[in-house]
Structure 1
């Protein structure tokens, strides 16, 4: 028996908006857990637009993601910094801030850390 699954981020099971209309997280549910598509608008910064939702000083979610478009900068609590762009795979441990770089929205697909991300 086949176990084919088809999901589409254009009709997610859940959408979580960020503060001040700076983006959103669209979630699709799979047997192994949720997968997210985050859209970060220009000017979005985790410490300004998600920290009030999370209630922590830095993002405590781990991320395993793929950058579809745009650019995202990440700085770890210890100061290590990396920028991600189209085609990049990212592995980001807990304890970081992040922000959109440039004038284009950043779209990321994330397989880890989205279950509670920006959840109210």
Structure 2
């Protein structure tokens, strides 16, 4: 049981950082994503899927979008886009999901990641 303490502590300390994102700042950071993704009323799939309701959604479920086989496999294994998985994916997409077609290198700043997630939460 004592070996699990560092992991529990790390997860406990990481969770508030995810929850504390600033949606207004996230909207600005999301400009980097707009070339491929849309959110909001009338959002449509582009090079990437529309991201309305993505937080808490099962991966690979946007209607009409042709996902990579890597994402389809992860979806079949039960990947859900919760704050932790989105955070890891947005930081380093290719490290999180080997074989992803997303060409974005990732967001370097943890605050940017948290802010984008906060912004995405405003688009259920």
Same fold (TM over 0.5): no
Determine which structure has the larger strand proportion and give its number. Answer: 1
Taking structure 2 as the reference length, the TM-score comes to 0.27
Determine which structure has the larger helix proportion and give its number. Answer: 2
Which of the pair has the greater relative contact order for Cα pairs under 8 Å at 6+ separation?
Answer: 2
Taking structure 1 as the reference length, the TM-score comes to 0.27
